[in-house]
Amino acid sequence: MKIISIALSALVAGVPVAAQQGVRGTTQLHKQESLVSEHEFLAAVKGIEESSCQQYDEETDCNGSFDEDGVTPCVWCKCSAVPSRCLSLEQSKKVPAGVFDCATPPDSHDSKPKLIHSIDASSITSDGSGYYPQFMNYSLRDGTVDGSLCDPNSKSLSGYMDITGSKYDANGENKHLFYWFFEKRATSLLEKTKDEPVQDAKDIPIILWLTGGPGCSSTLALLFENGPCKPAGVGFSYGAENDYNEEMISEDAYYFLQEFYKEHPEYKENPLTIVGESYGGHYAPSVAHKVWSKNKAAGDDTFKINLAGLAVGNGLTNPKEQYQWYAEMAKNNSHGIQVVSDDVYEGMTNEISKCVSLIEECNAGDSFINKFACQTAFIVCNTAETTPYQMTGLNPYDIRKKCEKVPLCYDFSYIEKWLNLESTKKALHVSEESNKWTSCNMGINLKFHTDWMHDFSPYVADLLNDGIHTLIYAGDVDFICNYLGNKAWTLKLDWDHKDEFNAAEEHEWGESDNAESSAAGLVRTANGFTFMQVYDAGHMVPTDQQEVALAMIKNFINGGEF
């Protein structure tokens, strides 16, 4: 079984190694900036409710008043709790970042600005054209990568998905999402060369790989973990607007796939598996669900993507369940490594109920209070459950190791150096407008603090109930997205075959020459749903157990038994 792989380095997609170091950095920056106090927030909510700023339609300006420069003093915001309100500039300053998606009105006007507002949009446009239900313009530009750069036995494409006028972006801003595609390796002279499509392309699975951060580049995962290329905004993506929630990410990814298949129709029939790692536990279910729902709604004249499966490795998918297992992982893991004292363990355990309550409130709706609970949960839960581990100086991605290089615990400088060589950028068709390649963008990471505690496991249930095979796997020495928490949410998942899955016996699977056990991992599987605890692997299973990871993924996408 050969595999075709795509690494989509969107404005947020990235490598898992930054996932919970992102928690640490984000928490510190959040405290330093002191965005808003709870008292100020509640005062702002009250001010919004009492605001004299009225709803308006196409013919009405924002409250009919302008400042001395002729510019309306109001900011239009969209939120389900107050779906059609204007805020004064002073009020808008008190609303925490991420609670609203706000856009300012035009800088000038002829009389009354004609502001067009859509109920499903998150900001406004003033050009009179309204919002686009899809992207106004999206296109793919790519080229073949010289085989000498990386792997002469695999055809490789790289380039950009250009997006203009997304319904999520104000003022028609542009985004340019970098991607790198690898076709299967040519293993015999009977197969086509790297410069031509392979004869049996329709039979070869395609993997779309999305890894976490949030705010880190999937290119790093390709080079450090799972790609054929291993040299001794995020990544090369760039643009005026960044994605900062899963709805935006999934929308971008869906249209990337549509455009990719349009430009490369030879792959349209290939079965697609979407794989996420770390914060990709948010991304991958969201993207897969977007593809699935678009397929369901598509008419006969619309191309339906051949979605075959979903896989998540050491992911953050259901925070409510997963955050309850940090204390146990720190003391009672399968390797018998106790990394915190009994007193610290007790303190972590005592804070779990508060953390869970906040996460529940976060997921209860889209009101101001719900979103404030999301921010609060992000700080409270990480302070109580992950910070005690980080203070030990151990690697959060492998409890057996010290954190060698703060903040990511691994040295990626050689990859950064190689990717920023002019020869490399030229070979990969990197735009001159792109920023210098870095592994992670903490500015984007910060924008996800209201998104962090959202639960994406219901998306997994929808997919499973419709026959989309799903694999959840986790290396058992990772702390930050540990196997205990991932196992817990799979057992709690409410889907049609929950009872059969929970009743299925765990059994060992595979072989490993490097693991202490002769088996590769411990598996539970039923009705297309599989959970696998991968032995002696940390956060990045393909790095720590390369042969096991390859065998596991190949078996999964080929419909094999576990």
Q: What is the DSSP string of 383-431?
A: HHHTHHHHTTTEETTEEEEE--STTTSS--HHHHHHHTSHHHHHHTT--
Type of residue at 45: V
Give me 6's structure tokens.
Answer: 């795509």
Q: What is the DSSP string of 298-323?
A: --TTSPPP-EEEEEEES----HHHHG
Closest CA to 275 of 233, 325, 223, 222: 222
Q: Can you list the alpha helix ranges (DSSP code H) found in 197-277?
A: 218-221, 246-263
User: How many beta carbons lie within 10 A of that of residue 530, not counting itself?
Assistant: 24
The separation between CA 293 and the C-alpha centre of its own chain, rounded to angstroms, equals 18
Place of tokens 């055809």: 155
Q: 161: Cβ–Cβ under 8 A, 6 or more apart, which residues? A: 138, 139, 140, 176, 177, 179, 252, 255, 256, 259, 260
Backbone angles phi, psi at 173, to 5 degrees: -65, 160
Going by the DSSP 8-state scheme, the letter that residue 334 receives in this structure is: T
Q: Which residues are paired to 407 by β-bridges?
A: none
Three-state DSSP class for residue 192: coil
Q: Which sequence positions are flagged as catalytic?
A: 278, 478, 539
Residue 130 backbone zone (phi > 0: left; psi -120 to 50: alpha; other: beta): left
Between CA 556 and CA 558 the distance in angstroms is 5
Q: 407: Cβ–Cβ under 8 A, 6 or more apart, which residues? A: 18, 21, 24, 25
- The helix (H) or strand (E) run that includes residue 5 is strand 4-9
- The helix (H) or strand (E) run that includes residue 177 is strand 174-185
Between CA 333 and CA 208 the distance in angstroms is 32
> Dmax over Cα atoms in the chain, in whole Å?
77
Between CA 312 and CA 322 the distance in angstroms is 14
Between CA 78 and CA 517 the distance in angstroms is 54
Closest CA to 507 of 561, 449, 442: 561
Between CA 225 and CA 405 the distance in angstroms is 18
Say what angle helices 368-385 and 342-350 make with each other, to 10 degrees: 170
Place of tokens 């001010």: 47
> CB of 375 within 8 A of CB of 446?
no
